[in-house]
Amino acid sequence: MTSARDQGSELGTLAPLLRKIAATPGPTSVLAPHSTVNGRYIVQRSLGRGGMGVVYEVHDRELDEHVALKLLHHELGRDTAYRQRLRTEVRLARRISHPNVCRVHDLGLDGDQLYVTMELVQGPTLRQILRERHAPTVSTIVDLVVQIASALAAAHRVGVLHRDVKPDNVIIDDGRAVLTDFGVATLAHDNEEVVAGTPSYIAPEVLRGEPFDHRVDVYSTAVLAYELVAGVQPFAVQTLEEAARLAAVPQRPPPLPVTVGPPALREALDRVFATALDPDPASRIASMALLSEAIAHAARADGPHVIAPREASSDVGASTAPRTRRADVRVATALVYRADSLAVGAAEQLERLVVDAGGTPVSVGALEITALFGVPTALGDDAERAVRAAQALLAHAEGRAGLDTVRILLRPHAGTLTAREAFSSASALAEAAEPGQILASSLTARQLAARFEMAGVELGHTTARRIVGPRPSRARAEAATFRSRELAALVAMAEDSFGNRRPRHAEIRARAGYGKTRLREALIARMRERRDVEWLVARADLHGNADPLGMLRAAHEEWHAHATRDGMADRAATFAAARSWLETRSERNPIGVVFEDIQWADELSRELVDQLVTSLDNVPVLILTFARVAEDGAAMPQRPGVDVLSLPPLDPATAGALVQAIAPGTPREAVDEIVARGDGHPFFLEELARDLAERGMRASEHTPLPATIEAVIQVRLDGLAPRYRELITAAAVMGTTFWRDALGHVAESAAATLDDDLVDLEHRGLIAPAVAEGGAGGDRYRFLHTMVREVAYARLDSHERRAAHAAVARWLRQRYPGLNDLDRAGQVSVATDIVAAFAHHLEEAGDLAAAAAAYRIAGLRHLAAAMYRDASRALRRTASLVPAIDNHLATALGDAVLLADSVVEAESWYERALNSTDPQDLAHRALLWHKLGDAATRRADHPRALHCFESGLALAAPDGVNLAPWALRDPRTAALLFGDLGWVAGYRLGDNLRGLPACERAVDLLEGTPYRRELAHALSRLGATYMRASRFRDQLACNQRNLAIGLELADLMMQLTARVNLGVVHGVLGEIDTAIVHTEVARGLARHTGARYVVGLAESNLAGLYLECDRLADAQRCLDEAIVISECAGRRTGLPETYGYA
């Protein structure tokens, strides 16, 4: 390991020493069990011997924990130059904080015996596993490489190289790959006589004596990956001399053995290894992130088109630009500590205090330390960790400290984390602080206020906060603590998904207050200890996230932008783009997608989640949806491919432990009473116990508890100061989440002390910051328990509610000016969820006309986006508020209800619209007759459907032949009527004499018009009717034209349908080869669009076609795949139709 900034040859004088060590079998002393090192470490057992020393498991008396201790050669301990260099190496290694890195603790000297202590990681080395077990699977290999690469990327970000990556230095701890020997594995120098490392893993530029950088670790990791895949190393060398000769004459790695997977996989991996093992570092894959992405991408190869990502080239004529990792903007806490004086060597000890608190030192000077908390990895409580570090520094040496919240641009290949100016505010605060003080900026103080007492300090034109001390701790028990079984199940599922690189979807279902959110937080915290996972978290609100794919926007703006870059008219293409973004993203690190309160998500987001479950393949993506179960216990549907985890009530023993944790010392009889009243409901139990604890009740002062949970919450709210109650009720008006800025409009009297009051409410466990992706939080909050919000809202009388909702509506108008012109709100960039929320507040404020207009706009926008359930809700509200329902509103309601709720109800809306439509408006009346016919068709009431279509045609073509003037101008409605009448008569009822002419007339009406999509629909109706009449050549012509239009419109779903139909009709006609071609293309399109059930249908049809060609093995394979897919996708429609004409 070495610093990327320090590749000099200052250790060239160590060559004789290292040669002497190489000839020495090991340390001159062996530590016996129970012996002591430096009076602190008690030896437990020997763990293994390496080239530099022996590793022991020891017990650290001071920390009362077991650690690993590496005892180095006596010769090294006697060499001053080596000790100084190793001290620098260990200081650098301590800066790496990553779950896949074995943490280096300290460097010590016991007499002349040098040792290094580090985290104790239990488990075999990767080398031992390779020797003792079967070859790992491709998914396991990719997972190991991703973990190792993630660890090295974290090291590279703080300027540290490893330089001895090999299976011997990787420990496998229950699926977690841990890279060891940072700080002691190698020494950096240019003298080839003292090159350190294992010969076959050393990069050629090191062996050639050339300057090197982080790409030496890319090379070593690629050798390791090649060995995992092939079972042998790419270059068989045993000594440094052999390795040096090989480096002098550059060679490409040999192709992988033919025993490695299918040809497409081998070819894709060969391309990756050719660039990752390029002897020229300038041509090599440029970073650990790109290496892991390349191998993950190659492992998913399904054809020769897969190309390993490379760093962009500046050469003229370079190949297609690669995928490159973006620089990330991170929010971090900057710490600047200034000491008044320090003893010699004290700076190193102070640096360790920062690292142990979770910080990343950026600079360590004689009297100043600067550090960042939250990069490269955020731990969630980074500001608090910075305070703890500052307190530890001040306790060790007198000085002063400043804290500030900053945005850091984290570049993927940068050698340093940040520019000096990022610390300017923290530095100014440290300069202004008195001795022993910690000053925090206002933004940092907002993050700390719930945990620390603070006092204001005036600094010229700004105000800082002085950290006084910790706030008095309150009894608190995390609900997840009492969900250990469910947490273990989710951890196992996550490890299965990430380790085997396969998607998993779990839905956690529970009633409100059962601890879903805390369980999610516990899972993320547990996984953060094991591996580097990117979590995409979004929460749906009852009156929010109504925009199409709003959950994607909440989870990650880039995900939403990628999915909707071509609009959302083609739903299949939108879903394919969303899936592609997620698949590509998962090649960097495993992805955890969390959608909370999925029952309130927009319809398109919910549909996408279901699509992802059945369409993702061979990617480490864990999808977690959290759904609130209705209080009436109504059953929720079981969806294919989803593991359902229901959170039951807590059993009496667990409930009692929860009460005791929150209210220690509570008498047994009081605990039993709370358990009985709480009925296993975690929130109820917590609130009852907290009420008991906050009253400071002792055993002799037991008094009866409130009779109901609502009463408990009422008691808690009544115990708040009046201004707090005003804030809580104002926030309740806005919903489960609320904006800080809006509170000033609703509760104007609280504006002066708003921030302090929010802090106190957070400390009381009523609210919490709602931190956005990549944001610092502090501007948006949420209720910790929705029932607190509901009770607080119920306390308002009708007059207060109207006034509060009116204030929120005014604030929304101010924040979104487009709402001031509702007629234009459908065109301007006001999100649909904002329009819907605006409508809700207008309605509650009593402005019913404006509310109806806003609901109508929201409903029509939902309808245009095919979000029928959301459209139905909004349009129903419109209908309830307007004095009279016009025919257009009734028509829109029918369209929404038809696909969201009830066909019968939709018919009633269409009939209402028909009855209220002007008799002279023949076009609209004819369209309504078609909608009525369509609804009747869905009910299989074919006589009624034919009557409706004929009624519409009586308006479009009064004499049955010639079109009315309005239909001549726009023949689409007439074509719909003719086409659907013919389809019902011919295809459904078998009356081809009536059906075929009608369908043919529909096509004729649209020929030569710009209405290509409508023409495709008419051709589809005609083709189905031809099939019913056994006119397969005519059906073929319709299907071919459908395909041509689908290609013309770039409509993948239209192409998919046409290809499936063409495969069937060519098969019927005996043209088996052509049928196979179309069906194989259909299978590829189905995979691309995520229509997995159609993949099963195509596989099923291919099985029949292959049987016709006596390709029995292929037929069996396709049929087996069809069965598996149909079971996963929840559809079996393809199976009984398998080549039914054979």
User: Would you say the C-alpha torsion 896, 898, 899, 901 has a positive or negative sign?
Assistant: positive
Gap between the Cα atoms of 218 and 1053, Å rounded: 42
SS3 of residue 144 by DSSP: helix
Instruction: Residue 441: name the closest of 679, 176, 427 by CA.
Output: 427
Give the dihedral of Cα atoms 1095, 1100, 1103, 1105; nearest 10 deg.
-90
Two structure tokens written together for 793: 């809202």
Q: Is the peptide bond before 376 cis (omega within 30 degrees of 0)?
A: yes
H helices present in 455-547, as ranges:
484-500, 516-528
SS3 of residue 970 by DSSP: coil
| Residue 1019 contacts residue 1041 (beta carbons within 8 Å) | yes
| Residue 951 contacts residue 929 (beta carbons within 8 Å) | yes
Gap between the Cα atoms of 115 and 98, Å rounded: 23
Gap between the Cα atoms of 334 and 444, Å rounded: 10
852: left (phi over 0), alpha (psi -120 to 50) or beta: alpha
SS3 of residue 1082 by DSSP: helix
Give the dihedral of Cα atoms 126, 128, 129, 134; nearest 10 deg.
130
| Residue 1142 contacts residue 1107 (beta carbons within 8 Å) | yes
The reply to whether 110 belongs to the active site is no
| Burial class of 318 by CB neighbour count within 10 A (0 to 12, 13 to 18, 19+) | exposed
Q: Percentages helix, strand, coil for the chain, rounded to the nearest 5?
A: 55, 15, 35
Two structure tokens written together for 619: 């990617």
Kindly provide the residue ranges of all beta strands, DSSP E only, lying in 341-398, ordered along the sequence: 360-364, 368-373
| Residue 626 contacts residue 653 (beta carbons within 8 Å) | no
Residues with Cβ within 8 Å of 853's Cβ and at least 6 positions away in sequence, in order, are 822, 823
* Given 79, 164, 270, 547, the catalytic residue: 164
Which one-letter amino acid corresponds to residue 494? A
Instruction: Residue 1107: name the closest of 1132, 1078, 1062, 1075 by CA.
Output: 1075
Instruction: Residue 353: name the closest of 401, 422, 408 by CA.
Output: 401
| Burial class of 676 by CB neighbour count within 10 A (0 to 12, 13 to 18, 19+) | exposed
Pairing relationship of beta strands 780-783 and 737-739 according to DSSP bridges: antiparallel
Residues of 100-113 as b/e, b for ≥16 C-beta within 10 angstroms?
A: bbbbbbbbbeeeeb
Q: Which residues are catalytic?
A: 164
